Amino acid sequence: MTEQLIGWVAVDAGGTSTRTVVVDPTGRCLGYAVAGSGNPIAVGPEAAAASVAQSVRHALGEAEVPSARIRQVVLAMAGAGSTSVAPEIRHRLAGIGLDAPLVFESDLLATYFSGTHLPDGYAVVAGTGAGAIRVEDGRQVAVADGLGWLLGDEGSGFWIGQRVVRAALADLDGRGPSTALTPLMLARLGVPAPSDDGDRKPILAVVRALYASPPVRLADYAGLVFEVAGDRTADDILDEAAATLARTLTAVRSPTVSGPMVLGGGILGRGRQLADRLATAADAGEVHTVADGAVGVCVLTLRHAGTYVDTAVFQRLTTSLATLR
């Protein structure tokens, strides 16, 4: 790349991974990189900032754009960047020679703009966390949930994962029905199945392993509901998750906004089981499902750069980013 090229850095900091894109003012994506979790709630400010810096460094290297040519860094993060993580991120970016202004945006808004460039509509996100927003004139004007695993995030990966584990443990000790989730959970933990009805060793091994990890790591077991077919317990969990997310969406809906609904996050973006249930429960019209907020944070970055994102620019973004992934 020429030294004269001016670029912007767009960062989608998720609970599972951090995605960074280097983009030029026309909407052409020049570099892309992925690092670990960028969610400070899940992994702490230092680890989140380290992931951001790592992904930015690798994306700049792929784009062959010197850090001195970057005009701004736009970062989509849960909570739109807490006061505890912002200084750490600036420090880490300075450590790789990048001292451009840092702007925080909502991860929910980035998810919305990953599915559409239209200025009015809705987004529902279910990944490690969960929440819904209403977007008007390109701005996030109403939010529901997104309160973290302890106080909210209903329908999220944690919410589903906790129910998966509870159902499997209830199966093991006779409090609940038999479910195909149980052997999957045991296999994930490397715990042997019970040798007979009175064998509690597997239960105790599961409990020890799960209590040894941070509670939010229960989200790791959410994906098990997508690995079984025709299991009543798994279907009930998915139905309840869809109904819960539909209620969250209802909280932000307005009769004056009838734009598209964008579904995103690692849970809604995995297969069609939950996304289809939610679309039906929410009586949605135009629905877009996206894997992450990478395209959307690029849209937000271009808006900060003064670029009007129309259909052509949005298509350029999505196409050029797809070639880099």
Residue pointed to by tokens 């990953």: 114
Separation between Cα atoms, residue 121 and residue 285, nearest integer Å: 11
What is the pLDDT at residue 79?
60
- Identify whether 313 is part of a domain: yes
- Identify whether 62 is part of a domain: yes
- Domain count across the chain: 1
CATH code at 111?
3.30.420.40
- Identify whether 311 is part of a domain: yes
- Identify whether 191 is part of a domain: no
Predicted structure pTM score: 0.86
What is the pLDDT at residue 4?
59
- Identify whether 186 is part of a domain: no
Burial of 226 (C-beta count, 10 Å sphere; 0-12/13-18/19+): middle
Q: C-alpha angle with apex 288: 265 to 35, nearest 5 degrees?
A: 30
What is the pLDDT at residue 202?
93
- 35: how many CB neighbours lie within 10 A of its CB? 21
Per-residue pLDDT of the chain (325 residues; tens, 9 = 90+): 444 567 899 999 987 789 999 999 999 999 999 999 887 877 788 888 999 999 999 999 999 999 889 999 999 987 655 557 888 999 999 999 998 999 999 989 999 999 999 999 999 999 888 999 999 999 999 999 988 888 999 999 999 999 999 999 999 999 999 999 999 999 999 999 988 878 899 999 999 999 999 898 899 999 999 999 899 999 999 999 999 999 999 999 999 998 899 999 888 877 688 888 898 888 877 899 998 899 999 999 999 999 999 999 999 999 999 999 8
Domain that holds residue 58: 7-115+292-324
What is the pLDDT at residue 234?
96
Per-residue burial over 112-141, b if 16 or more Cβ lie within 10 Å, else e, is bbbbbbbebbbbbbbbbbbbbbbbeebebe
Output phi, psi for 103, to 5 deg: -120, 130
What is the pLDDT at residue 129?
85
Three-state secondary-structure class, residue 26: coil
Separation between Cα atoms, residue 12 and residue 55, nearest integer Å: 10
Distances from the Cα of 46 to the Cα of 90, 148, 213, angstroms: 11, 19, 18
- Identify whether 126 is part of a domain: no
What is the pLDDT at residue 316?
96
What is the pLDDT at residue 100?
92
- Identify whether 222 is part of a domain: no
- Identify whether 198 is part of a domain: no
